[in-house]
Chain A
Amino acid sequence: MAETFIHNRQLPVGSQGHLASGWWGMLMLIATEAMLFAYLLFSYFYLASHALSPWPPNGPPSLRIAVPGTLILIAGSVVMWWGERGIERGKTRRLIVGLSLALVLGVLFLVLQGSEWKGEPFTLRTNVYGSLYFTITGFHMFHVIVGLLVLAVLLVWAARGDFDANRHSAASIGVIYWHFVTIVWLAVFFTFYIAPRLG
């Protein structure tokens, strides 16, 4: 009978870890957002491959700010991972520390990125490279800002004591998004800063 496999099975109730629908929803959101960046980078390579003049027009962009920025984002993901591991064992304090550190690191990344934007000799309107550079890094920055807002809200909830070992789906969902923001940056970083040095 169909019901045999249900009888006497204890089932968890409500949002728990990766059983929460929100977790699955976030994975789907990440998939479609990843495609968005794939199309952005496709546009970059497409336009680069059709460029008549040297590409990038001013030579490969400097690594002076981008490399520290990259390391900072990675560090943010690592502390977030550590914080999430904490709440899985019921350690709210550790989650709070992780969220706060990741927030600080994320803001630092934005500041660095902002200073790089300021120092560029070209603008969005100069040529297609400028359009690509500011649009794609801008898209990523926008994702960092959204990610920071998510972390900030999670921090409020964590400080209110909303999360414990059993119920912390929201935190896991926010953290996976933050990892995504880091990984996307690696792709953007490779495209703008490394790829031109390979050719």
Chain B
Amino acid sequence: MATIETHRTPVIARAADGSATSQKLQRTWDGKPGLGGWLSTVDHKEIGKRYIVTAFIFLLIGGLEALAMRVQLARPNQTLLTPEQYNQLFTMHGVTMIFLYALPVLSGFSNYLWPLLLGSRDMAFPRLNALSYWVFLFAGIFLYCSFPLGKAPNDGWFNYVPYASLAYNPGPNIDVYALGMVLLGISTTVGSINFVVTLARTRAPGMSLNRVPILVWGTVTASVGNLFAVPAVSLAFFLLWMDRQAGAHFFDSTAGGQPLLWQHLFWMFGHPWVYAIVLPAMGIVSDGLPVLCRRPLVGYTAVALSTVTTMVLGFGVWVHHMFATGLPILSLSYFSAASMTIVIPSAVAVFAWIATIWTGRPVFTTAFLFFTGFVLLFVIGGVSGFMTAAVPVDWQLTRTYFVVAHLHYVIIGINVFPVVGGIYFWFPKATGRLMNEAFGKWTFWVMFIGFNVAFFPMHILGLLGMPRRTYTYADNLGWGTPNLIVTIGAFVFGLGIMLFLVNAFVSLRHGRPAGPNPWDASSLEWSTSSPPPVYNFAVIPMVASRYPLWENRLDDGPDRSSVGTGLVLDKERETIGTSVLDAEPDVILKMPGDSYLPLLVAVAMTAVFTCMLLHSWWGAGIAAVATFLGSVGWLWPRRALAQIET
């Protein structure tokens, strides 16, 4: 065998899709056909799409649970659901939406888009990427495994002890939640590592940190946040499982444990997590909206910095979820102030978006409607959040429907609306076809009106004193009419989501062909074909500004990016590695090909957790050995990856 090359000077040439170079790339990068290819692919575009589709399926499941609750609450004294069923429904609704929809859907966007935005051929760890998807999928199924038995998690998504302790909750409900969350944490963690390393190491030459799109800032901030925060929740759930199944006493006040420890660990995680599920979505808007306003984002640097600042502050405010637990007044004041300062970076972003719309020439596409709708909801959610950051108000409103209203304004406003807008925006890139615009605008109004009809009256219900997590109410309290309105709004909102999905399905086949750059946008993903070829870019572009495709038009400075001409890396699977700050090329990276190992390792890991749930310690041991062997096979040094030379 020929010896492995140790150094090479990359060739710079011109090549487009369809050229000889690209045909060679197509052969090297193309996966196996059929089911085998489907199960073994490590292509970030496939994985990204899967993430999005899977997350939407969970959104639908969570939505059905919500509608069941809303039917129950539409009138006073209904008996459609028992209290226990209601408990499981709101818990699974929260768990599904927060953990199985909100972050995964954004991971999907970022997985799909990052290498295209960054001018690269894949994520830094393609196989790890596949692993993170499979583990997410299996953890989602795991969390639902006891649902058909009527034994689903039932203590709310934040699962406070002591109600989650064995003495009060002897069934498998909470164990499923605890183990499922530890498993899901593995997926989130490896996914986050992948994003951070991808940003640090695999940008196109010249794409210095101050030139990356805001979505990249949002996702990397969320990922770093996750790396710091997820261990807290995984640990909390693990300790709870130890309490329940091994007889430990962490949360057991009769043996020196502290129920409040749960709340600390949970919210150390929970608050940064709230930002993790909104910052990438804000990034979607910060990148999409300016294109539709025909101008660069106003205040790029300010928005990028505010993204990072939000997360840093997010770690300081976990205690604000516990205002009602009797902490010392001084620390309450501190955390209240910190919660309020977090408004400042958010306000920076809001002003940047408004200024972009104001000074731009908006094109009123469906995506534009969703993005501006988001800005509006963001402001409303921000105000009600600011109110609960004030300690006295929080004491009054916590545990009422006011909180339910706030939370849905924030999460649906900042996550669902940008996500739907983002799909309208990038659908043509991913599929080669545009979604239907006229229908899309109708969909927007149905969703927007339905949403407000569903959730605005909840503020009023909260002020009228209706508690959250209540499965029914008496008819002399005056809550009947607002509740009926809420339920009707919920169905209208659900209808809007369905219309959106119909549009996507129909457009997939019958949409207008899009061409590479239907919105005349500025970033690198729009320079390649729609849908992009497996290898993304025939040559790796070289970047000289923040808006590589708008340079001639903006005309600031003499530097020009080079997009059709770039690095030819066509020996096996390759991409360029660049330095962290300035993106100077410093290595030619060999990329792994398709592999079944991520799937197998994910199956083995899931088996470990399933066996733990069933108390089958031997089974868990065997599955752990399988996980280990799979990992060794995965990491075995390979010539093809130039990990060894002999």
Q: A interface vs B, CB < 8 Å?
A: 1-3, 5-16, 19, 21, 24-25, 28-29, 31-33, 35-36, 38-40, 42-43, 46-47, 50-53, 124-125, 127-132, 135, 149, 153, 157, 161-164, 166-167, 169-170
Query: Is B249 an interface residue, CB under 8 A from the partner?
Result: yes
- A3, B12: Cβ atoms under 8 Å? yes
Cα(A51)–Cα(B256), bound, Å = 6
- B197, A21: Cβ atoms under 8 Å? yes
Cα(A42)–Cα(B266), bound, Å = 13
Chain A residue contacts of B5, Cβ below 8 A: 13
Cα(A157)–Cα(B638), bound, Å = 11
Given contacts A21-B589, A24-B197, A53-B256, contact A149 B265 (CB under 8 A): no
Please give the distance in Å from B621's CB to the nearest CB on chain A: 12
Chain B residue contacts of A129, Cβ below 8 A: 256
- A1, B587: Cβ atoms under 8 Å? no
- B542, A2: Cβ atoms under 8 Å? yes
Contact of B562 among A2, A14, A125 (CB under 8 A): A2
Closest 4 CB pairs of A and B: A14-B642, A128-B256, A131-B248, A36-B231
- Residue in chain A with minimal CB distance to B567: A6
- A128, B9: Cβ atoms under 8 Å? no
Binds A, one of B232-240, B280-288, B378-386: B232-240
Query: Is B320 an interface residue, CB under 8 A from the partner?
Result: no
* Interface-central residue, B231, B234, B584, B644, by most chain A CB under 10 Å: B644
Contact of B590 among A13, A24, A43 (CB under 8 A): A13
Q: How many residues on the B side are at the interface (Cβ–Cβ under 8 A)?
A: 76
- B587, A164: Cβ atoms under 8 Å? no
Tell me the number of A-to-B contacts counted with CB atoms below 8 Å. Answer: 195
- A167, B8: Cβ atoms under 8 Å? no
- A19, B12: Cβ atoms under 8 Å? no
Please give the distance in Å from B542's CB to the nearest CB on chain A: 4
- A35, B231: Cβ atoms under 8 Å? yes
- A21, B567: Cβ atoms under 8 Å? no
Cα(A25)–Cα(B586), bound, Å = 17
- Residue in chain A with minimal CB distance to B589: A21
Please give the distance in Å from B351's CB to the nearest CB on chain A: 33
- A15, B643: Cβ atoms under 8 Å? yes
Chain A residue contacts of B228, Cβ below 8 A: 31-32, 35
- B255, A43: Cβ atoms under 8 Å? no
- A36, B588: Cβ atoms under 8 Å? no
- Residue in chain B with minimal CB distance to A51: B256
- B201, A128: Cβ atoms under 8 Å? no
Cα(A130)–Cα(B586), bound, Å = 51
Contact of A124 among B247, B265, B559, B560 (CB under 8 A): B247
- B561, A2: Cβ atoms under 8 Å? yes
* Interface-central residue, B197, B206, B248, B256, by most chain A CB under 10 Å: B256
Contact of A28 among B227, B246, B567, B636 (CB under 8 A): B227
- B7, A12: Cβ atoms under 8 Å? yes
What are 16 A-B contacts defined by CB distance under 8 Å?
A2-B542, A2-B561, A5-B206, A9-B10, A11-B7, A19-B577, A36-B234, A39-B232, A39-B235, A39-B265, A124-B246, A131-B249, A162-B646, A167-B643, A167-B645, A170-B635
- A128, B227: Cβ atoms under 8 Å? no
Query: Is B230 an interface residue, CB under 8 A from the partner?
Result: yes
Given contacts A6-B12, A29-B193, contact A1 B257 (CB under 8 A): no
- Residue in chain A with minimal CB distance to B559: A2
Chain B residue contacts of A132, Cβ below 8 A: 250
Chain B residue contacts of A15, Cβ below 8 A: 590, 641-643
Given contacts A125-B247, A167-B645, contact A12 B628 (CB under 8 A): no
Please give the distance in Å from B23's CB to the nearest CB on chain A: 23
Query: Is B543 an interface residue, CB under 8 A from the partner?
Result: yes
Cα(A31)–Cα(B224), bound, Å = 10
Given contacts A39-B235, A127-B255, contact A12 B641 (CB under 8 A): no
Cα(A8)–Cα(B12), bound, Å = 10
Please give the distance in Å from B476's CB to the nearest CB on chain A: 44
Chain A residue contacts of B246, Cβ below 8 A: 124-125
Contact of A6 among B197, B585, B642, B643 (CB under 8 A): B585
- Residue in chain A with minimal CB distance to B558: A1
- A32, B587: Cβ atoms under 8 Å? no
Cα(A166)–Cα(B641), bound, Å = 14
Cα(A132)–Cα(B258), bound, Å = 12
Chain B residue contacts of A149, Cβ below 8 A: 628
- B632, A25: Cβ atoms under 8 Å? no
- A47, B231: Cβ atoms under 8 Å? no
- Residue in chain B with minimal CB distance to A132: B250
- A7, B12: Cβ atoms under 8 Å? yes
Contact of A157 among B560, B562, B637 (CB under 8 A): B637
Please give the distance in Å from B205's CB to the nearest CB on chain A: 6
Given contacts A6-B567, A170-B635, contact A43 B265 (CB under 8 A): yes
Cα(A149)–Cα(B627), bound, Å = 12
